[in-house]
Amino acid sequence: MTDLKKAGATLTIDLGTLAKNYSILSDQLPSAGLASVVKANAYGLGVKEAAPALQAAGCSTFFVATLEEGSELRQILPEARIYVFHGVLPGTAKELLAHNLIPILNSRDQIEQWQAHADQPAGLHLDTGMSRLGLTPAECEQSAPDLAKFNIDLVMSHLACAEDQDHPKNVEQVALFNELRSSIKAKYASLAASSGIFLGPDYQFDLCRAGVSLYGVNPTPGKVNQMAQVIRLQAKILQLRSVDTPQTVGYGATHQASKPTKIATLAIGYADGYMRSLSNSGIVYIGDFEVPVVGRISMDLTTVDVTGVPEDMLHMGALVDLIGPNNPVDQIADQAGTIGYEILTSLGHRFDRHYISDEA
């Protein structure tokens, strides 16, 4: 962890709120279990801290993307059930077994790679409409006789349009999933991730996979976010200066002062995950005062117009909210022209990461 006195910015991660979000999602599931997806370093928040907090909240099943992530998580949670989305790649079967990881078999090639360990638990991914990973309906039919010899622990698929609850593809996919899984003998079935949970019981099956919603991103866009905000990103003011027309601000001279203006330079930039696309469009907060980003965001610095902020709130070292109570992750993502997933997973490593809990 970076020394807070030395860091230009600080990221506060509320593990108590993370656990609360797990409970909120669990309450949506009258009969299904809830797993936590902690890939990509728990969506940028820190798997070493997030995974134990989720386990303490009642989670016993976790999903990661890669063997490396699974191996790391196994050291953190020795007793957890851990699935690996990327499955078994050539030469990795023994390491998966050594770390007690369950691969999700995504193709006929991966089924062949796991053939020698068919008695060990594995998941199976069925492609119901994403055209990324998983067996197509034709491949599923071809593989059914071979799979009868496997210990298929979990059969799963992934919804393409779950965030749009009225999208017809949701109905198509759940129907195809039911059809395909009928030929596969498996202990558990899983279709819904974060947004799919809110499509109702027909989509929940035995196990749902909560990902980005755990970390505060809205799983039901266009509706009130039921998830609580988990992170707060604040940057320090490095310098204050007054500019006037025709002075410009930042690279490319993309912002020009039209009147006497006070500019604060913040110790954060796109190398820290504050995206360059927020140049001249992002909004930050000093207390409850809304402050626009002006000029281009550079690698280490961001400039904001603080003309309307009271003088007593402006000084070197003062903290400015880039993500916080007034500007949640989804709002920042909208300003940046992206999604909350990218905001979270882009969070950098130069600022102080401060973990708090309900007890704290």
83 is catalytic: no
Q: Which two tokens stand for residue 296?
A: 């281009």
- pLDDT tens, residue order, the chain (360 aa): 444 567 889 999 999 999 999 999 999 999 999 999 999 999 999 999 999 999 999 999 999 999 999 999 999 999 999 999 999 999 999 999 999 999 999 999 999 999 999 999 999 999 999 999 999 999 999 999 889 999 999 999 999 999 999 999 999 999 999 999 998 999 999 999 999 999 999 999 999 999 999 999 999 999 999 999 999 999 999 999 999 988 999 999 999 999 999 999 999 999 999 999 999 999 999 999 999 999 999 999 999 999 999 999 999 999 999 999 999 999 999 999 999 999 999 999 888 999 998 644
Give the predicted TM-score (pTM) of the model.
Answer: 0.94
Could you give phi then psi for residue 324, rounded to 5 degrees?
-170, -160
- Specify whether 285 is catalytic: no
Nearest to 235 by CA among 6, 44, 45, 11: 11
67-76 and 47-56 are packed helices; what angle lies between their axes, rounded to 10 degrees? 60
Q: Which residue in the list 22, 39, 270, 355 is annotated as catalytic?
A: 39
The DSSP bridge pattern shows strands 207-210 and 9-14 to be unpaired
Residue linked to tokens 């009147």? 259
- The values of phi and psi at residue 238, to 5°, are -90, -40
How many angstroms separate the CA atoms of 321 and 287, rounded? 8
Backbone angles phi, psi at 277, to 5 degrees: -65, -10
- 94, 185, 187, 251: the active-site residue: 251
Taken in order of first residue, the domains within the chain and their CATH numbers are: 31-215 (3.20.20.10), 231-356 (2.40.37.10)
Question: Cβ contacts of residue 145 below 8 Å, gap of 6+?
Answer: none
